[in-house]
Amino acid sequence: MDIAEAQKLAWNNKLAKGFNTTDIPYEYGLLTAEVGEAFTAWRKGLPDHGEELADVFLYLTAIAEMQGVDLGEEVERKIAKNTRREYTAGDNGVLVRTSQD
């Protein structure tokens, strides 16, 4: 399944179930909660860690749909941008970007 297809399926599920489709700040709040649940599942070694990550992805794709963003295109663009970036370890060992996009 590609990102665009997942985005549409997440959106259609929201419509079919009568979930929020207009309150963007609320959706960002729910996304944040899902990230917390995924972190907790990972930290505790719970078997539903993958499902929690899927929840994060689905909330993110629905928010993109609410805002008219093609998340698949944006991910491709961002990966290309990140590929062009160069980093060097600073004095403290932290990587610092050394090239412009």
For each of the domains in the chain, give its residue range(s) and CATH number, in order of start: 3-97 (1.10.287.1080)
At residue 101, the pLDDT reads 72
Task: Retrieve residue 7's tokens.
Answer: 């985005």
Q: Where are the alpha helices (DSSP H) in 1-101?
A: 3-17, 24-43, 49-66, 71-84
**Do 62 and 11 form a contact (C-beta atoms < 8 A)?**
yes
Closest Cα partner for 61 from 2, 12, 8?
A: 8
Mean pLDDT of 76-83: 94
Q: What is the pLDDT of residues 5-30, one digit of tens each?
A: 999 999 999 999 999 999 999 999 99
In terms of C-beta density within 10 A (0-12 exposed, 13-18 middle, 19 or more buried), how is residue 4 classed?
Answer: middle
At residue 99, the pLDDT reads 87
At residue 2, the pLDDT reads 93
